[in-house]
Amino acid sequence: MKTRLLFMMMTACLLVSTIMTGSQGKLAYAAGTAVPPGTIPLEADGRTQLYPDDWYPGLEDAEGRFLHDFSYAGYHRGEAPLPTVELTGSIDVTKTPYFADSTGQTDSTAAIQQAINDVSAAGGGVVYLPEGTYKLNPPPGQAYALGINASNVVLKGAGVGKTFLYNASEYMKQKDIIRIGGGDWVKTDTSAKLRKSLTKPTVLLPVNHAEGFAVGDYVLITFDTTQEFLAELGMQNKWASRLGKVEPIFYRQIVAVDEAHNTLTIDIPTRYPLKIRDNITITKTAAPISEIGLEDFSIANVQNSKSGLGEDDFKVEGTAGYETDNAKVINVIAAANSWIRNISTYKPEGNSTYHILSKGIILDRTKNITVDHVTMQYPQYRGANGNGYLYQLIGNDNLITDSNAVGARHSFTYANFSANGNVLHNVYSENSFYLTDFHMYLSMANLIDNMTVNGDAISAITRDYGSSATNRHGVVTTESVFWNTTGLKAHSSKNGIIVESEQFGNGYVIGTKGPVNGVNVQITGSIPEADTKPFDMAIGIGEGERLSPQSLYEDQFARRNSQLALGLASVLVNGEPVEGVQFLKTAYSIVLPYGTKDTPTLEATPFASSASIRIEQPAGPNGTGTIQVANNGQTQEYKVTFQVAANPALPKSITLSPDRSVLGWRTTSDAISAGNEGALKSLITLNNGDVTDPVLAGIKVKYTVDNKELGSIKGNVFKAKKPGTIKITATAKMNGVTVSASRTFTVLEPMAEPEGKLAAIRQVTASANDGNLPIHTMDRDPDSRWSADGIGQYLLVELEKAQRIDQVSILFYNGNTRYSTFDIEVSEDGVHFEKILDHQKSRKPSPNSIENFPFPKPVKAKFIKFVGYGNELNGWNSILEFWAHKAK
């Protein structure tokens, strides 16, 4: 167990007035001062031992603690400057044929959208809005006023305070003023599985095959929320509803492919351990929309004139809270390498104090977006359900720099597993209702660098809002760093505290300064099951003025930018990838299997095609090899130290779990319906801590059951026969040692189905999902569902063959508490669709009731499309099960 770091809260004025430099260069404290126990002072040179002058990515201290390399955040990973946008050749929306009204008297939405559509069709361009005010309103049936759905489109004004976008609609529930994108990362049929667990940040992925991948491809890395994953975090109770979901975690681009050794090198290191236990999948996607810019304008919304801005008024129809619920200024969805620059909200004439209705900028499933010199202020509605968030990060490696938030519910907030590698740099927050925070699920390895709080604080605390198994908060971050935070005024709920941190595993608060600079890391017991030990590190509290470097992001970027041409894309030992490879990691330690006598063979590939490489092999199995990269007269040396394990690797234990990568098992429990089959999988943990997949290692696992009346086993497939409780045992033998484990499963009655003859379904796809997959609508599991947020999201059901259909049956998620609105369209070829049901509403029947929706007449169809318009409470479309009926 790692040593706990004890820390007691101190106000900044006490720290600043009492610390002084001792004769040996260490910090000394004035006599009589209550020194915060466990707080680590900075070194004499202002540095921390976690970030010495010779730091390199992957450098660990004696206890395995390290700082991630955050230098990849922002537009093109910071490797290209934001474009300088010229007006030559741009479209002026006030000119023919658009004639947008710049006086704000008449609606300009259609004119500006047409200009956007025209440059999109032309392959890109600049849409220019000269000085003036442009009135906007979302068109009927559309969830945004202006939409950009193609790459290389820039929407540019004449400057903040010169060009004004004024959204005149009071009713903006679940709508955006500007939406970029709107779908999801589009998966292809090319995918691979991780073949080894990876515990350290790495750019080198060992996969079961590398065929079909190429340099430049975008990939989506996902994991399954297994019981073991949840238990590891202590979230088996709080996040039980997530069990079985496929979660996106990393969006990456491939920079090298090695088919001979089955490795993929990605552009940015991973941020969290990837375990084969969790079915890690790397899927090639279509290129996301990119090179989209918004810049140089002011933007606002007319305030809602109704009353009702209470915490839960988003649920109460007819209130301002209901009509402004989740209204967004700029919503960016599934985009990459784009920017938002020089934009500010403003108070329109007639508004009391408000600038916008609810949310500011949302970066949702994005990669490498830069938000630069932006100010979001004064949302009208700051109630529950995610309202009043001025900047929300739900993507990878985005950068928000030199930007401000004023009067928010949460000024800046992180949400979901895919919120990782993001950087807040030189940002300012003033008078937020709640704290800047890590909000829900485990947002991994983010950096808040030189943030100034003035009536705000930063919170990274494990959050428990009750005993509900569907609680969405829990452990909220790990390995995140708060670097050189300035406190002008503490939040009203915090007494002198500007950072509070209780991260899963390690977290780091390094450097604070200003009139208020206290930190609290001595936090325990928020959720007893969640082991958040050790206490997070608190270093240089009150010493921010002499912290070196002053900005971690700037320093890490300067290092990488100057050295990347000398980097390594891969390091192999005996043909197998080394764990923890990063482009500029200069030292590796490799433990060879017990009994190794042969000298290992070291291989490596340079990152830059122009670089040359020279390898000096180790002298023996306990030797050191070196790799020297040369490029344009510069050189960089990498050392790889080998040591033979002192003891043989033997199996220590085996785990047994349902394989939910294929249909069969219930999603949220160790249960299966009678008549179904479910695959099983096992993993063997060795005495050296490594985890082995017996299938890949060629180790036979034998599965047995304790009651053959309830079910039977063939290979690794369990067939459920009748309801009851059954114990399955897995046994394996490796190197003469036998390990076994048992797990209890429940066989349930099969799910009820609607009456009548049902058409066989071949597959189900969808326009988008939130990890609740479309295939769940055909698995006959009432615990799983498909969900997608937004008007127009669709579920596409493909039947086994074209046939006459006369109705569909649907089991809606929470269907008894809210009605959903949708269309049903049919097609024989999957291209030409006919609308059969138009804006059909569900009926809010009793719980778990299947609803039937007859067609006006039977139709021949092979494809059935459910087009959703959300439900009466929000924009989510959620279906548990879907059936199609053969015509009578």
What does DSSP assign to residue 463?
B
How far apart are the C-alpha atoms of 775 and 790, rounded to whole Å? 19
Do residues 334 and 414 both lie within one domain? Answer: yes
Residue at which a domain ends, from 406, 434, 462:
434
- Residues 409 and 451 grouped into a single domain: no
pLDDT of residue 472: 67
Do residue 540 and residue 679 come from a single domain? no
Q: For strand 19-21 and strand 27-29, is the pairing parallel, antiparallel, or unpaired?
A: antiparallel
Same domain, yes or no, for 294 and 391?
yes
Q: How far is CA 625 from the centre of its chain?
A: 38
* 659 and 784 fall within a common domain: no
Burial of 829 (0-12, 13-18, 19+ CB in 10 A): exposed
Final residue belonging to a domain, choices 593, 613, 644: 644
**Pair (611, 689) in one structural domain:** no
Q: Do 354 and 470 have their domain in common?
A: no
Same domain, 199 and 231: yes
- For residues 486 and 454, is the Cβ–Cβ distance under 8 A? no
Provide mean pLDDT across the span 165-175.
96
The range of the structural domain enclosing residue 5 comes to 1-69+447-547
Give pLDDT tens digits for 829-845.
Answer: 999 999 999 999 999 88
Q: How many C-beta neighbours within 10 Å does residue 301 have?
A: 29
Looking at the structure, tell me whether residues 334 and 427 fall in a common domain: yes
The reported pTM is: 0.87
440 falls within a domain: no
Dist. CA 347–CA 252, nearest whole Å: 39
Residues 301 and 408 in one domain: yes
Whether 740 has a pLDDT exceeding 70, the answer reads: yes
pLDDT at 471: 56
Say which CATH number the domain at 699 has: 2.60.40.1080
Degrees, nearest 5: CA angle 154-160-163: 70
Token couple for 91:
């479209």
Whole-angstrom distance, CA of residue 165 vs CA of residue 177: 9
What CATH number should be reported for the domain holding residue 769?
Answer: 2.60.120.260
Map tokens 């796809």 to a residue: 765
What's the CA gap between 234 and 236, in Å, rounded? Answer: 6
Burial class (CB in 10 A: 0-12, 13-18, 19+), 317: exposed
Please name every residue paired with 338 in a beta bridge, in sequence order, or none if there are none: 369
Rounded mean pLDDT, 640-660: 92
Domains held by the chain: number:
6
- What's the pLDDT tens digit per position in 99-157? 999 999 999 999 999 999 999 999 999 999 999 999 999 999 889 999 999 999 999 99
Is the separation of the CB atoms in 173 and 322 below 8 Å? yes
In a domain, 855, yes or no: yes
Residues 491 and 562 in one domain: no
Say whether pLDDT at 182 is over 50: yes
Assess whether pLDDT exceeds 70 at residue 24: no
Concatenated DSSP letters of 247-293:
EEEEEEEEEEEETTTTEEEESS---S-B-GGG--EEEEEPPPEE--E
- pLDDT tens profile 283-339: 999 999 999 999 999 999 999 999 999 999 999 999 999 999 999 999 999 999 999
Confidence of residue 20 (pLDDT cuts 50, 70, 90): very low
Per-residue confidence (pLDDT) for residue 466, from 0 to 100: 55
pLDDT band at 465 (very low <50, low <70, confident <90, very high): low
User: 85-94, 362-371, 665-674: which range is least confident on average?
Assistant: 665-674
Provide the CATH number for the domain around residue 572: 2.60.40
267 within some domain: yes
Query: In a 3-state reduction of DSSP, which class is residue 747?
Result: strand
Q: DSSP labels for 167-194?
A: E--S--TT-EEEEEE-S---EEEEEEEB
Q: Does 325 share its domain with 181?
A: yes
Given this model, what pLDDT does residue 14 score? 31
